[in-house]
Amino acid sequence: MNKIRLNVLGISYSQTQTGAYALVLAEEGGKRRIPIIVGGFEAQAIAIQLEGLKPPRPLTHDLFYNFSRTFEIDILEVTIHKLEEGVFHSKLTCYDGNKNVEIDTRTSDAIALALRFKCPIYTTSEIIDRAGIVLDFEQESSEYDDDDDESASKDIEIEEEFSENDMAEMDDQDLNQMLQKAIKEEDYEKASMIRDELNRRQDS
């Protein structure tokens, strides 16, 4: 398995799902990003660790960390190893001093724990090829600098259509244009939704 290391780029409030957040993982040394929708509790656990804050009482992930350290169990790495129907599946590689053990986990929990154990996060080349969003800042700047009034108007029409109609009714050209616009605006949540729709069309 060709492993690709990921770093946590950031987390933001979801604009479309109440109580949900968009977690963005970045390919180390590359331009691709993987947006993942996570719940509010997991988002809080990740954000607290990113900001270096310490809650007055341990959160569940802190309890897991303290318990593991007490009994000399370490997490060596986190691997996002499967993408199925838009859901990312992950595993923890743990070490108890004698052997490695792999444990299945939700990706949001895996990231929260990886930050606490300060262990690397990996995915496969297949997953990042399917789910990664490529950021080419020079190309994006050139494309949008050259836009005229007609193309700008087209962007507005597509944005309205997206909010009023199901993505399945849109053609690939419009979806790809919306994808580039979402990436430029760093709206990774919308970009991930469009990417998933385009992937479904390729697989069908």
**Partners of 197 in beta bridges:** none
The token pair at 76 is 């060596």
104 and 160 assigned to the same domain: no
d(CA 199, CA 52): 36
Q: In which band, very low, low, confident or very high, does the pLDDT at 183 lie, cut at 50, 70 and 90?
A: low
Q: In which band, very low, low, confident or very high, does the pLDDT at 136 lie, cut at 50, 70 and 90?
A: low
The more confidently predicted of residues 203 and 139 is: 203
Asked if residues 184 and 140 have their Cβ atoms less than 8 Å apart, the reply is yes
10 and 77 assigned to the same domain: yes
In this predicted structure, what is the pLDDT of residue 177? 80
Domain CATH number, residue 102: 3.10.690.10
Helices (H), 37-133: 40-50, 60-70, 107-117, 125-131
Domain boundary among 76, 104, 131: 131
CA atoms within 13 Å, Cβ hemisphere of 42: 19
33 and 121 assigned to the same domain: yes
Angle, CA of 82, 179 and 145, to the nearest 5°: 140
161 and 183 assigned to the same domain: yes
Please tell me what DSSP assigns to residue 167.
G
Q: State the residue range of the domain holding 66.
A: 3-131
Length of the chain: 204
What value does the mean pLDDT of the chain take?
80
